Amino acid sequence: MGIPFPGDAWIKALMAELNQSSAYEEAARTWEGDFCFIVEPGGTLEKPKTLYMDLWHGKCRQAYELNEANDGHSPAFTLSAPVATWKKVINKQLDPVQGMMTGKLHIKGNMGMIMKHVRAAKELVENCTHIPTEFPL
């Protein structure tokens, strides 16, 4: 049995993984910007859920589930997709940058900044694979 995705326990598990990862720290050492990850309904997930991460110079300073969409946050980046698409990203069946370029993941924010940090995005996804995850599908 895994940690339910999306949820507060899951995003906190990802924060712990990132903060232990020297590969992520190196890849994201110049990254500055927070994210809201919006998981759109699908399967048994009936309402959208939003996960927040404050990523700064290779560390995750905060991570938690928001009660309402963005919940007053104005993140540098918002990434949204249906839960089935997130499952593909987390299981490394869909590259996150390719997903953004093809419109499978909807991004709001400075795409140029993301393109400068492709390795950091890949390391973030790599750390997602370390979390035993239970999807609502």
Q: pLDDT value at position 55? A: 97
Q: Provide the mean pLDDT of the chain.
A: 94
Q: pLDDT value at position 71? A: 65
Share of the chain above pLDDT 70, in %: 98
pLDDT above 90 for 69: no
Give the start-to-end residue ranges of the domains of the chain: 3-128
CB 41 within 8 A of CB 48: yes
- What is the mean pLDDT of the segment spanning 106-130? 93
Superfamily of domain 3-128: SCP2 sterol-binding domain (3.30.1050.10)
Q: Model confidence over 3-35: pLDDT tens digits?
A: 999 999 999 999 999 999 999 999 999 999 999
- What is the mean pLDDT of the segment spanning 77-84? 96
